[in-house]
Chain A
Amino acid sequence: MYQLLKQIIAVGIKTEAPPQADEALRVVSQRLQQEILGMFAGSLAIRHVDAGSCNGCELEIHMLNNPYYNIEGLGIRLVASPRHADLLLVTGPVARNMEVALLRTFDAMPAPKLVVAVGDCGCSGGIFGESYASRGRVSNVIAVDVAVPGCPPTPTALLQGILTAISSGRHGAA
């Protein structure tokens, strides 16, 4: 236990300031947290669905939870059920074998709900494109509010995409 506590103290706090939502919004981190506070009572619940990704985007979604990005500190939680979620984070080109599961997950979410398509594949189908096995971009299957490009997008880009979605969501999109 001594070693454990010593390590916690030695490492200290690594959490960095969250990024700005986007150029036009130009709000500081407190304002962004207030968006979450105002619209989602301080807590934004995100459900993730891998609709056919190579698992690269999942690696970066995992990294959002590390002490550097610390999304829980912003009031953002990744939740286990779509019924608890405000926002759906979808990775991958939509594999046709995942099409039904993606639609059911989306349908299971209570309204209002937001969808963020993640990665080059989620935005455009990426290198896999559209075929007998792939529906390509996420918006070919469900309506998308914000698309975050990148292969994979960095945690900062993901966070910006999420914040952009909730900022625009306030103006009635959902």
Chain B
Amino acid sequence: MAFDSLPLNLTELPGAVPAWQGQATAADLPDICQAVKDQGGRLASLWGTDEQDRGLGYALHLALAKPEGMLWLRAPLPADRPEYPDLASIFFPAGRMQRAARDLLGIDADAADRRPWLRHAAWQESAHPLRREFAAANVFEQGRDDYAFIAVAGDGVHEIPVGPVHAGTIEPGHFRFSIVGEKVLRLEEHLGYTHKGIDKRFQGMPLAEGAKLAGRVSGDSTVAYAWAYCMALESIADVAPPARALWLRALLLERERIANHLGDLGYLGNDGGLAFGLAQFMRMKEEVLRLNHQLFGHRYLMDRIVPGGVACDLDRNGLDAIGAECARLEREVRLLKDIYDDHSGLQDRFLTCGRLTANTANKLGVIGLAGRASSQGWDVRAQAKPAPYHLLDVRMKTHKNGDVAARVILRFDEIFESLRLSRAVIERISAGEIAAALPAVPAGRIGLGWVEGWRGESVVALESGEDGSVRNCHAHDPSWQNWPALGFAVINNIVPDFPLINKSFNLSYSGCDL
């Protein structure tokens, strides 16, 4: 068992991924985290909940991941002094998550950085939206947001503020560049602009409906989130979806990966000065989306994964259409890869640009596609292997260079692997039901969902409430871990390369603004 060397009483959670739950005191957390880190583990997520209605103050929650499984650790915090030790010195990504937990719940890590993260000016420091006494409809006077950016001093250093509204059609966030000439000395990110109160919105929602909200945490990863949410709920209900539903889920997840990678490869070509690439890849993406609409009824596959199974089936013609599409994409993407590889102008922009070394990536805890492009070998499909991936033998791709070129190569490699997996699914898919009925779920049960979306892992931690409602639900996006890495990747690059580097990461704002 993955975590049995820890001095904790752990209970295994039923469900699709190896997962355990346990409890620890806040004071013990640094030692536990250090031990997990020493064993090759990392922090997957950190959040808090209000337990005062149970007379238990607050709780800090950690999701700790190893390749073979995940540990959901809960630490009770007293109501009068909800404090815990800073974990960011052990797990770097904890820093922003701790700040978000303080903004939302008023639980405080003993950390040096006292600045808010998700709280801008829409509510006061004394108000804590995730506390149960806080009514969601509470509206405060809009204040003034004067976030304290860290200033870089020196001869010729100046700042470029960018955002929250960016020049392109992308999500909002603020980037503060400190530069000399064209060279970036430092990039500071200020996010949280799309915070729309998702954790609060989950509370009290019918469990079945939560899948829809989870599917809108980050729209480009709707399949990954809906699956992660359903996986968590199915763990709570101790129900396994029928085999056919699981095959279809894997097919949908790989189609989401293919569509997003195609789009990114198009934009990366465009940002590198090859508009031909944008036209070609966006055409292919459009064709994938149209087939999605034709076969599954939605271009981005929203709400196709439902608790207990899937909401759509495929007949023989549908399977054949996907098989034919796989063959066509394989041929065309290989051709375009050759064109990209041979295009000296494009390679000149890609190579050595925005380099994130394996060492830095490791220290920052970078995961997902960006992590794999910097030698960080994490892929839930190949490691924890939620069904049906345990039957698919996913070949995880990694690269050691960590530059834009590596992230481009990885996208190509992962498209080919996803096409191989899609073909394997349509060959092996079994006949049968596409959904299992979920029984009524008692209050106070917890379940974890853990799915490798195209950007990285989506984690959903769900707790059931009274009468089939959600008591708490926290959805975690891999962008939490990877946004800080962008800040390191741009150092010493020139400002005009930032859009290309940013696109090569393509992180979600909505996913971690929540």
Any A CB within 8 A of the CB of B150: no
Contact: A66 with B122, CB < 8 Å?
no
Any B CB within 8 A of the CB of A101: yes
The 8 Å CB contact of B283, one of A11, A57, A78, is: A11
Note all chain A residues with C-beta closer than 8 A to B196.
Answer: 52, 92-93, 95, 128, 131, 133-134
- Known contacts A67-B282, A97-B193, A132-B129: A54-B216 contact under CB 8 Å: yes
Contact: B279 with A99, CB < 8 Å?
no
Instruction: Count A interface residues, CB 8 Å.
Output: 52
Contact: B142 with A55, CB < 8 Å?
no
A99 to B164, CA, bound (A): 11
Any B CB within 8 A of the CB of A48: yes
Instruction: Tally inter-chain residue pairs, CB-CB below 8 A.
Output: 168
A57 to B194, CA, bound (A): 14
Contact: A101 with B286, CB < 8 Å?
no
Contact: A152 with B129, CB < 8 Å?
no
Main SS of the interface on chain B? loop
Point out which of A48, A54, A61, A92 has the most chain B C-beta atoms below 10 A from its C-beta.
Answer: A54
Contact: B137 with A133, CB < 8 Å?
no
Point out which of A55, A63, A105 has the most chain B C-beta atoms below 10 A from its C-beta.
Answer: A55
Point out which of B200, B338, B339, B508 has the most chain A C-beta atoms below 10 A from its C-beta.
Answer: B339
A150-174 vs B, CB cutoff 8 Å, 1 = contact: the mask equals: 0110100000000000000000000
Contact: B218 with A132, CB < 8 Å?
no
Note all chain A residues with C-beta closer than 8 A to B172.
Answer: 49-51, 98, 101
A127 to B209, CA, bound (A): 10
Contact: B142 with A151, CB < 8 Å?
no
Contact: B194 with A152, CB < 8 Å?
no
Any A CB within 8 A of the CB of B212: yes
Note all chain B residues with C-beta closer than 8 A to A63.
Answer: 282, 285-286, 289
Note all chain A residues with C-beta closer than 8 A to B327.
Answer: none
Contact: A48 with B169, CB < 8 Å?
yes
Which residues of A pack against B, CB within 8 Å? 3-4, 7-8, 11, 14, 48-63, 65-68, 78, 80-82, 92-93, 95-101, 105, 126-134, 151-152, 154
4 additional A-B residue pairs with CB within 8 Å, beyond A101-B172, A128-B201, A131-B136 = A7-B276, A56-B216, A62-B263, A98-B193
Which residues of B pack against A, CB within 8 Å? 120-123, 127, 129, 134, 136-140, 142, 145, 164-165, 167-172, 192-198, 200-201, 212-213, 216-220, 222, 263, 276, 278-280, 282-283, 285-286, 289, 299-300, 302, 335-336, 338-339, 342-343, 508-510, 513
Interface CB pairs A-B, < 8 A, 5: A67-B283, A80-B167, A127-B216, A132-B197, A133-B129
